[in-house]
Structure 1
Amino acid sequence: MTRIEGTTILITGASRGIGRALVDQALARGAATVYAGTRTPLHHPDSRVQPVTLDVTKSEQITAAVNAIGSLDLLINNAGIAGYDDLSDPAVIAEHLAVTLFGTLAVTRAFTPLLARSNGAIVNNLSVNAFAPLPLIAYSVSKAAAFSATQSLRTLLAAQGVSVYAILTGIVDTDMSRGVEILPANLLTVGP
């Protein structure tokens, strides 16, 4: 799948920030229908946007979304959380993994049959933090795990005709990143 025009797209985490920008870009590029997956109700002025209540950590909401959508060309797994931590609280790590890794896998698993029918694609919006953890350590751990899962999904789903991609964004000026202090470029190194 190389085009957006005329397609049906689901974007998780679509209520604000990058997710909202992805919805707007899909519309600008001619998507026929954009399902905007959000945890809270969403209103969008464009009638091509169909709100879908979708907390990626809730299996019943994922199932309801699959039933409501019915056919799909492109899944963009964008839902995420970001919190400051020092890996000392296992609950914080578990929360990040629940959304970024397990939520992404659950949504992907649920929508794969629809994507296989359309020879569709999956785009996992990840982060350069998968390779260079900044002050968001559990976030970085979860993004690294999701990147590894994306690599595996690419191989596993190819036989079903589903393409899988990873987007590794840098820091984007959104509500989620507000307050993140950027280190000087010469301090952003991977390895010893």
Structure 2
Amino acid sequence: MANLDGAVVLVTGANGGIGTQFVHQTLARGAAKVYATARRPRTWDDARVVPLTLDVTDPASIRAAVEAASDVTVLVNNAGASVSTTGILAHTDEEIRANVETNFLGPLFLARAFAPILRQANNAAIIDIHSLLSWYAVAGIYSATKAALWSATNSLRLELAPAGVHVVGVHVGFVDTAMAAHAPGPKTDPADLVRIVLDAVETNQYEVLADESSVAAKAGLSAPLER
């Protein structure tokens, strides 16, 4: 995908810090329209932004979104859930199901639902937001679902490449959003993250390691397991 000029973008989790930046920055790069989706979409001060109700855990909601946004050329799977407890054995049933449905099944089912549309589009792309915790299993079910999404993104890339759909996976540590408000230490500015991601899309990169922590985490995959 060479550029975002004229693109029609759908952003999940558009009300949050990262999602809002995807809305603003894709428009700044020439997108013709952005579907800003959320369970409870808000109003936007731009006629090019179309608020759209979408619950990525609800198959009927996904079907409705595909019908309402049949002109999409770029899908941004950004919506996510986190956990309030550490340790996969300590999570509640509700936490486990919410993370699996939101972080893994939702993006996968959404990509599958939009795939026929994207295959017919010019300069089509899917952007999946992973995490360095895909490779660092300290966040229990959150890490597990992000690892699963990483694998699914690689599968989507292989299956959609013959149709010219460019699939990009994004890994990043803590981002300065409400979801990471509890976390200590440095955090990536959402505006910087999205800029890096869109630069990667426009230069046909397949994977984004958005910070030094993500670079280090991936490099460590080749090391032997210690425990």
State if a TM-score over 0.5 links the two structures.
yes
User: For each residue in 1:88-138, what CA deviation from the matched residue of structure 2 results, as whole angstroms up to 9, or x when unmatched?
Assistant: 23432221011111001110011111101114111101111101234x322
**Equivalent of residue 129 in structure 1, options 128, 133, 143:** 133
Partner of 1:43: 43
Partner of 1:87: 88
Moved more, 154-163 or 16-25: 154-163
> What amino acid is aligned across from residue 46 of structure 1 in structure 2?
D
Partner of 2:22: 22
Runs of 4+ in 1 over 6 A off after TM superposition: none
TM-score by length of 2: 0.78
Alignment of 1:5-84 (within 5 A): 5-84=5-84
Question: What is the rounded CA distance, in whole Å, between the counterparts of 1:133 and 1:174 in structure 2?
Answer: 21
Moved more, 39-48 or 84-93: 84-93
Question: What is the rounded CA distance, in whole Å, between the counterparts of 1:17 and 1:138 in structure 2?
Answer: 23
In the TM superposition, residue 182 of structure 1 has moved relative to its aligned partner by 4.6
> What amino acid is aligned across from residue 167 of structure 1 in structure 2?
V
> 1:181 and 2:187 equivalent?
no
Partner of 2:198: none
Question: What is the rounded CA distance, in whole Å, between the counterparts of 1:18 and 1:181 in structure 2?
Answer: 19
Moved more, 84-93 or 146-155: 84-93
Partner of 1:143: 146
> 1:158 and 2:154 equivalent?
no
Unpaired stretches in structure 2, ≥5 consecutive residues: 187-212
Question: What is the rounded CA distance, in whole Å, between the counterparts of 1:129 and 1:123 in structure 2?
Answer: 17
> What amino acid is aligned across from residue 107 of structure 1 in structure 2?
L
RMSD: 1.9
Between the aligned residues of both structures, percent identity stands at: 39
Question: What is the rounded CA distance, in whole Å, between the counterparts of 2:95 and 2:70 in structure 1?
Answer: 34
In the TM superposition, residue 4 of structure 1 has moved relative to its aligned partner by 1.0
> 1:104 and 2:107 equivalent?
yes
Question: What is the rounded CA distance, in whole Å, between the counterparts of 2:130 and 2:185 in structure 1?
Answer: 18
> What amino acid is aligned across from residue 153 of structure 2 in structure 1?
T
Instruction: Count residues in correspondence.
Output: 189
Unpaired stretches in structure 1, ≥5 consecutive residues: none
Q: Do 1:17 and 1:176's aligned partners in 2 also have CA atoms closer than 8 Å?
A: no
Question: What is the rounded CA distance, in whole Å, between the counterparts of 1:32 and 1:42 in structure 2?
Answer: 19
Aligned with 1:176: secondary structure?
helix
> What amino acid is aligned across from residue 140 of structure 1 in structure 2?
S
> What amino acid is aligned across from residue 131 of structure 1 in structure 2?
W
Question: What is the rounded CA distance, in whole Å, between the counterparts of 2:174 and 2:137 in structure 1?
Answer: 12
User: For each residue in 1:34-69, what CA deviation from the matched residue of structure 2 results, as whole angstroms up to 9, or x when unmatched?
Assistant: 001111021110111001100101111111111111
In the TM superposition, residue 159 of structure 1 has moved relative to its aligned partner by 2.4
